[in-house]
Amino acid sequence: MVLFLALTFSPYFIKTSYNQTMRVYQIDKCLRDGQIPCRWVPDLGQMYGYPLFNYYAPLPYYLGEAGYLLTHSFLLAVRVTFSLFGLVAYLFVYLMAPKFWTAKKKVFLGIFYSLVSSAVVIYGGTGSLGEIAVLALIPALVWALRRLICIPAEGSVLILSLVAAISVLSHHIIAMLFLPASVVFLLSTLLSRRDFKQSLKFSLHSNFKLFKLSLASLVLSLLLASFYIVPLILERDYVRSGESGLGYIYRIERSGADFLPSSVEESSVKPTIPRYQVLTGESQIADYQSGTNWISFKTETKTHSIIRLSQFYFPNWRVLVDGKEAEISYKDNSLGLITFILGPGKHNVEARLFDTPVRDLANLATGLGFFLYLAGVIVQIQPLRRWLSYYLNGLFR
């Protein structure tokens, strides 16, 4: 509550919250338009659109959408989400505090960390939800990993994998920093355990079990986050980037230009020209409509015409003319805009961004991860397990 009130009356936060509210607004448009998961945002990049959430961690903005549905205010939704991560930071710092500390000390440490981390992001960073997520989720990850070490069981696997997946989907830099750090933490913990020194045989058995559970947590968390992390890595060359190779993953966004399609010359990006242009020929366009990742209209074309859409090309944008895919061009202009040819006659035209095989596979992997996680939760909750067993026995009797 203290953090929420501070954000409400902070003029600096108001100045830095435009990007955050705009991103929540784009998520809202995607969900209402059925683009799930949201990858392409239509109103950024000078209204040409670009694949922001193919490369920028989306989860804080999905949480912002939940806040918007509750408050009906995008700005208030951002503040609520920011406060939520502050609460997460407080909670897990409290849980991580030494057991011999008094409750007052734990409360003070949690509040101190929460307020300081929020102040660092608001006044020292960009005020982004992703940055506060990093500071909030690192204590959560350490707590979940320590819990797995202390209680090496399937329930701990579910907790750690969920926290890890949430962390990756909140800020991809966590994935690159936490993985090696967690390996070091695990090894140092295993080597310091008494059973390792007292009984090598018992130690090998218990440590191997912990290793298997840790690996299961890693695999499950990566499956849950696959819809984001796989395209981030395998399709990194599709957008403009100041770095090449895996170094791209470490880079924190500096501007919207980081995610412009690679065919676009950054210096050419200016406020949007008309939504479509008839470059040559004689063609009348009517009933123009557009969504987050699609455009449709009708034409009455008298002579062969070249049509250009004010839409950046990105792999798997396709143009369908009367239901048949048309050949498109985008290299003939510095903006990489979609261009195609229409023959004489009346036509129904639709342009749409389809998923690539990489994105389809990533979506399927996340679906598999969700199914496995749900099955694990059902197995862990005894009443659900009993109900499911009773139902299946009755079904196959």
Does 276 lie in the same domain as 246? no
Lowest mean per-residue pLDDT among 31-35, 86-90, 279-283, 346-350 = 86-90
245 falls within a domain: yes
Average pLDDT over residues 205-223: 83
Residue 373 within a domain: no
One domain, residues 145 and 282 = no
Same domain assignment for residues 277 and 340: yes
CATH number, domain of 317, equals 2.60.40
Q: Please give the distance of CA 316 from its chain centroid, rounded to a whole number.
A: 20
Can you tell me the mean pLDDT for 58-69? 94
Is the predicted pLDDT of residue 163 greater than 80, yes or no? yes
Q: Is the pLDDT of residue 17 over 90?
A: no
Task: Verify that 325 and 218 share a domain, yes or no.
Answer: no
Of 5-14, 148-157, 242-251, 280-289, the poorest mean pLDDT is in 242-251
Same domain, 218 and 70: yes
CB of 76 closer than 8 Å to CB of 8: no
**Same-domain status, 213 and 293:** no
Residues 294 and 203 in one domain: no
Residue 70 lies in a domain: yes
Shared domain check, 165 and 195:
yes
Q: Based on the fold, state whether residues 183 and 328 are members of the same structural domain.
A: no
Q: Is the pLDDT of residue 330 over 70?
A: yes
Q: How large a percentage of the chain has pLDDT more than 90?
A: 41
For range 172-194, the mean pLDDT: 66
Q: How many domains does the chain have?
A: 2
Cα of first residue to Cα of last residue in the chain, in angstroms, is 54
Find where tokens 């918007």 sit: 68
pLDDT classification of 283: cutoffs 50, 70, 90: very high
CA nearest neighbour of 253 among 134, 118, 126, 135: 126
Q: Which residues pair with 306 in a beta bridge?
A: 280, 341
Do 168 and 238 have their domain in common?
A: yes
All residues at 6 or more sequence positions from 36 whose CB lies less than 8 Å from its CB, including other chains: 30
User: Is pLDDT at 1 greater than 60 in this prediction?
Assistant: no
Q: How confident is the model at residue 305 (pLDDT cuts 50, 70, 90)?
A: very high
| Residues 218 and 112 grouped into a single domain | yes
Same-domain status, 84 and 156: yes
Is beta strand 317-321 parallel, antiparallel or unpaired with respect to 283-290?
unpaired
pLDDT score recorded for residue 247 = 42
pTM (predicted TM-score): 0.84
Domain span at residue 332 reads: 272-351
339 assigned to some structural domain: yes
